[in-house]
């Protein structure tokens, strides 16, 4: 019969990654591409199709068990749609129908953070654990929950969309989804710069002068990397921002602990993977101040940036994992 393969796609905010892999989780080929946000959604989907064609080149179609696309939500799994995301201008994208037509392969869809939860459970720190939560802190914030050994999906496939829980009832910052006060608006890669400017503005001129922060000269273009970089160099204002981000992250993790009661919570995504101690330390220190449930073990994912790809790969072989 010969070896069988699956294809996983990780649709990020700025780039798409695809891999060809085996049922045992071995990645044979991989490729990444920075996405061009085209006016026509068909052109955008064509870039994904082209990437899959590259990683499957020379592989007979009958040797490919399936393709699974991990995408930011919200999604509509029943209709095979990406209904919308904070990072794309499209609505109700028929991703399943389009990719099936262009690739001639069976295609499945899963929330990207749910894919991370599957990857963690099957190949990461969650092996042998029945209740696992995967949290990604990157351009956005997302979550996936394994509850009693089963991936929690919800009516449309959007359960555990924790980046859009409200952590600030005053709603000072607006999320990319258009709603106010969401966790993602404050603590994601796109939210941290907005929070930095908010804290700076609220200090007042006299207190800003006292800090003498190097961030003051780049406030209009400050990035999350700038904030964490200056914090590492001991900038007092940057350290204040990082501590506030940590406090808000602890509130978010406490909400996860109380809502899903996991025994393990792993964290991935660019912001966390690039700044592990600055992200994890406040969560470890402060989550118990907000949670009523026993706080789970919280650690960085050992699978790094591949956690979602590996989860999508597992679903390419076993669609029952995602209710397909």
Domain ranges of the chain: 5-112+306-322, 125-302
**Which residue reads 């295609």 in tokens?**
107
The pLDDT of residue 324: 66
Q: What is residue 86's predicted lDDT score, i.e. its pLDDT?
A: 66
Give the per-residue pLDDT at 282: 98
Mean pLDDT of the chain: 93
Model pLDDT, residue 67 = 96
Q: Has residue 21 got a pLDDT over 90?
A: yes
Q: What is the CATH number of domain 125-302?
A: 3.30.420.40
Residue 37 scores a pLDDT above 80: no
Phi, psi dihedrals of residue 165, rounded to the nearest 5°: -75, 150
- 278 pLDDT more than 80: yes
CA angle 144, 244, 225 (to 5 degrees): 75
Least confident of 62-71, 89-98, 175-184, 250-259: 89-98
| Token pair listed for 227 | 């904030």
Cα 203-204-208 angle, rounded to 5 deg = 70
pLDDT at 295 over 90: yes
The percent of residues in the chain predicted with pLDDT above 70, rounded, is 98
Q: Would you call 79 helix, strand, or coil by DSSP? A: coil
pLDDT digits (tens, 9 = 90+) for 201-241: 999 888 998 888 999 999 999 999 999 999 999 999 999 99
Domains 5-112+306-322 and 125-302 share a fold: yes
What is the Cβ-side half-sphere exposure of residue 281, based on CA atoms within 13 angstroms? Answer: 8
Task: Specify whether the CB–CB gap between 8 and 71 falls below 8 A.
Answer: no
Checking if the pLDDT of 1 tops 70, the result is: no
- Contact between 299 and 273 (Cβ < 8 Å): no
pLDDT at position 323 over 90: no
Does the structure show a pLDDT above 70 at 122? yes
pLDDT value at 14 more than 90 = no
Q: Which whole number is the average pLDDT over 55-80?
A: 92
Average pLDDT rounded to a whole number, residues 282-308: 97
Query: pLDDT tens for residues 84-116?
Result: 776 677 788 888 999 999 999 999 999 999 999
pTM confidence score: 0.94
DSSP assignments along 149-181, one per residue: TEE---SSS-TT-GGGSBS-TT--SB-TTS-BS
Please state, in angstroms and as integers, the Cα–Cα distance from residue 92 to each residue in 83, 89, 107, following that order.
4, 10, 17
DSSP 8-state code for residue 289:
G
CATH 3.40.980.10 applies to domain 5-112+306-322: no
Bridge-based pairing state of the strands 15-21 and 5-11:
antiparallel
Above 50 in pLDDT, residue 192? yes
Q: 10 Å Cβ neighbour count for 291? A: 18
């Amino acid at each position: 019969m010969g070896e069988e393969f699956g294809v996983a796609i990780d649709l990020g905010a700025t780039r798409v990654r695809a891999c060809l892999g085996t049922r045992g989780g071995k990645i044979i080929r991989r490729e990444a591409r920075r996405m061009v946000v085209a006016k026509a959604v068909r052109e955008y989907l064509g870039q994904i199709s082209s990437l899959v064609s590259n990683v499957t080149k020379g592989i007979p179609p009958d040797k490919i068990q399936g393709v699974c696309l991990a995408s930011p939500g919200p999604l509509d799994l029943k209709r095979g749609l990406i209904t919308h995301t904070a990072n794309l201008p499209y609505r109700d994208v028929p991703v399943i129908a389009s990719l099936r037509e262009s690739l001639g392969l069976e295609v499945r869809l899963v929330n990207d953070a749910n894919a991370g939860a599957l990857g963690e459970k099957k190949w990461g720190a969650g092996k042998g654990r029945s209740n696992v939560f995967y949290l990604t802190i990157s351009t956005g914030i997302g979550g996936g929950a394994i509850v009693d050994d089963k991936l929690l999906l919800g009516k449309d496939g959007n359960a555990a969309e924790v980046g859009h829980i409200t952590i600030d009832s005053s709603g000072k910052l607006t999320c990319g989804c258009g709603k106010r006060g969401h966790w993602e608006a404050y603590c994601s890669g796109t939210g941290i710069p907005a929070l930095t400017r908010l804290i700076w503005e609220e200090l007042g001129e006299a207190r800003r002068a006292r800090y003498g922060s190097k961030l003051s000269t780049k406030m209009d273009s400050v990035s999350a990397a700038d904030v964490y970089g200056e914090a590492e160099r001991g900038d007092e204002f940057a350290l204040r921002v990082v501590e506030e981000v940590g406090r808000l992250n602890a509130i978010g993790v406490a909400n996860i602990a109380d809502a899903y009661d996991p025994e393990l919570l792993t964290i991935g995504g660019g912001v966390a993977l690039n700044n592990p101690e600055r992200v994890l330390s406040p969560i470890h220190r402060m989550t118990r101040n907000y949670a009523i449930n026993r706080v789970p073990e919280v650690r960085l994912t050992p699978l790094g940036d591949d956690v979602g790809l590996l989860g999508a790969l597992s679903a390419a072989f076993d669609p029952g994992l995602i209710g397909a």
